[in-house]
Amino acid sequence: MSETRYIFVTGGVTSSLGKGILAASLAKLLQSRGYKVTIQKLDPYINVDPGTLNPYEHGECYVTEDGAETDLDLGHYERFLNETTSQANNVTTGRIYQSVINKERKGDYLGKTVQIIPHITDEIKRRIKILGSKGKYDIVITEIGGTVGDIESLPYIESVRQLKWELGSKVLVIHLTLVPYLAATGELKTKPTQHSVKQLLEAGVQPDILVLRTEYDIDLNIRKKVALFCNVALEAVVQSINVSTIYDVPLKMLEEKLDLTVLKKLALPIKEKINLSAWNSFLTRLKSPTQTVEIGLVGKYVELHDAYKSIVEALIHAGAENRCNVNINWIHSESVKNDNYTKILSNLNGIIVAPGFGHRGMSGKILAAKYARESNTPYFGICLGMQVAVIEFARNVLKLEEADSTEMTPKTPYPVIDLMEQQKGITNYGGTMRLGAYECRIVENDSNVFRAYNKLTIHERHRHRYEFNDTFIEKFIAGGMVPVGINPETDLVEIVEIPKHKWFVGIQFHPEYRSTVLNPHPLFVDFIKNSIVEEEK
């Protein structure tokens, strides 16, 4: 075993306290002190991956370079650390059981009764150690999904208990809890934290550090009380107060000296003075916008903003880069109709039609693309949003009435978007889309995408089954919508543009997954830049 250290982040009291942001913030601080850090998420549900989950249930499905469909927290890890993650960074209970059952079927357990302890916990521990054993990381932070006390989390907590025993001081447990404020008495209450720590103790795990989510400052007396009742050192009681942007959390954790406490407890030296200058200059730009731009985000999951997490964050990065506040207008595609679309869309400086699946809300998305095209409003069609732009152009410009994607109308007379050859015959829905990073060549030098990227070869991540049907290519080019990005191996059309339009870009891939604080995505930056100019006119 190498000297890799393992930090576990568990959560208590309620869900949604922000374990992912805490893990990412701590990782950022340790990275800024010269350590190589990665983060992993263990999800206690039975799905093998979140690819088959409805976004309403679990928010966006985040896709990694290697094509893994993962939890949206991995997006935070990449955006904070500016480093890519992979399949190994997200493991679900379904995946753990799948490996154990496959081994059992192969006879690998030599006739033994296969049990949660040790077989499931061994598989969990193996998955945790995979990242450490690569020798690439000094520290692996593992976030355990769910809340302590849930039946589903028990095997994970048990694995942490075993690892603490096996690896001793190389393991550290951080428990994130809530300290609610009772308005009636004006008090912050620590009892839920005490109970949740007791639950961890019942499972044999003593947390080393407690991070308390709170709306108000937690004073020394309360910290002392929590330290006393929960057997942790006073310096190991850390508050995480509400902030206006998640990108402030690393700075708040720095104020609380969380990074120093962690290094001390793991017996690691303070190698470098912390360097957060690039991060801080991003925050300065983010907090001092000189103008506002109104962007319409048209999709069918808009009630749950987490369904478009990476797009929202990419817009925040692009806004900061342009010193501009991006005001997202959430537009439900089903609410956009023939008799209201100009009214709904006319105050917008730019329109995004979001990725998606299935025909619900399609007519509203098509109207949004039509409005953007006709009014010269910047249009950014992402994945399904590109397909929508192609369908709209076919119907209204090329006069191919009833043109559609075969996903929506299998028997359309003009299948301008069709199933990819390699997708035909696939009946198993899990993990079988075109997934992960592929090369794309930009073919037109004077296109908006070329100006944005300023290079001819790019790599972007995909998640789709359908594609632009190239039997229609000549008609589109003649009509004024041109393919400007092509996959060099398969010739698939990855990007279309309308050269006559100010900024009309449809892309088959998902650029939002690659936007980070330190590297805002060039397409988002350029889209916002062009939307601003529109406003100034």
- Please report whether residue 298 would count as binding ligand GLN according to CB under 6 A: no
Per DSSP, helices labelled H in 266-361 are 277-287, 309-321, 341-345
Respond yes or no: is residue 123 known to be catalytic: no
Q: Which is nearer to ligand GLN, 164 or 465 (CB)?
A: 465
Q: 194, 231 in Cβ contact below 8 A?
A: no
Write down how long the chain is.
537
Task: Given the residues 383, 460, 497, 534, select the one marked as catalytic.
Answer: 383
Nearer Cβ to ligand GLN (18/55): 55
Q: Which is nearer to ligand GLN, 97 or 357 (CB)?
A: 357
- Residue 18 or 355: the one with the smaller Cβ distance to ligand GLN is 355
Q: Which residues are 460's β-sheet partners?
A: 438
Stretch that binds ligand GLN, among 162-170, 234-242, 293-301, 464-472 (CB under 6 A): 464-472
Write out the E strands in 119-271: 139-144, 171-178, 181-182, 187-188, 209-214, 237-241
Say whether residue 463 binds ligand GLN (CB under 6 A). yes
Q: Is 299 a binder of ligand GLN (CB under 6 A)?
A: no
Rounded Cα gap, residues 360 and 315, in angstroms: 25
Using CA atoms, how far apart are residues 21 and 250, in angstroms rounded to an integer?
Answer: 9
Q: Which contiguous run of DSSP H or E holds residue 496?
A: strand 493-497
Which CB atom, from 67 or from 355, has the smaller least distance to ligand GLN? 355
Please provide the distance, in angstroms rounded to a whole number, between the alpha carbons at the two ends of the chain. Answer: 63
Our answer to whether residue 175 is catalytic in this structure is no
Q: Residues 321, 510, 521, 534: which is the catalytic one?
A: 510
Q: How far is the CB of 462 from ligand GLN (least distance, A)?
A: 8
Helices in 33-72 by DSSP H: which ranges? 55-58
- The position carrying tokens 């059952």 is 101
Q: Is residue 222 a contact partner of residue 194, using CB atoms and an 8 Å limit?
A: no
- Out of 383, 449, 523, 528, point to the residue binding ligand GLN (CB under 6 A): 383
Nearest distance in Å: CB 20, ligand GLN: 22
| Burial environment of residue 20 by CB neighbours within 10 A (0 to 12, 13 to 18, 19 or more) | buried
| Residue number with CB closer to ligand GLN (351 or 383) | 383
Residue 360 CB, shortest distance to ligand GLN, in Å, is 11
Range list of β-strands (E), 131-198: 139-144, 171-178, 181-182, 187-188
Catalytic residue among 143, 467, 512, 534: 512
Specify the residue, 125 or 465, whose C-beta has the smaller distance to ligand GLN.
465
Q: How far is the CB of 427 from ligand GLN (least distance, A)?
A: 15
The piece of 22-30, 111-119, 463-471, 512-520 that touches ligand GLN (CB under 6 A) is 463-471
381 binds ligand GLN (CB under 6 A): no
* Contact assessment for residue 250 and residue 79, using Cβ atoms and an 8 Å cutoff: no
DSSP letters, 411-470, are T-SSEEEEE-GGGTT----TT-SEEEEEEEEE--TTSHHHHHH-SSEEEEEEEESEEE-G
Token readout for 507 is: 């892309």
* Binding region for ligand GLN (CB under 6 A) out of 136-144, 187-195, 221-229, 353-361: 353-361
Question: Per rule CB under 6 A, is residue 465 in the interface with ligand GLN?
Answer: yes
Segment interacting with ligand GLN, rule: CB under 6 A, options 215-223, 458-466, 483-491, 497-505? 458-466
CB of 341 to ligand GLN, least distance (A): 21
**Residue 383 annotated as catalytic:** yes
Among 357, 376, 490, 535, binds ligand GLN (CB under 6 A): 357
Interface residue list for ligand GLN (CB under 6 A):
355-357, 383-384, 407, 463-466
Catalytic residues: 383, 510, 512
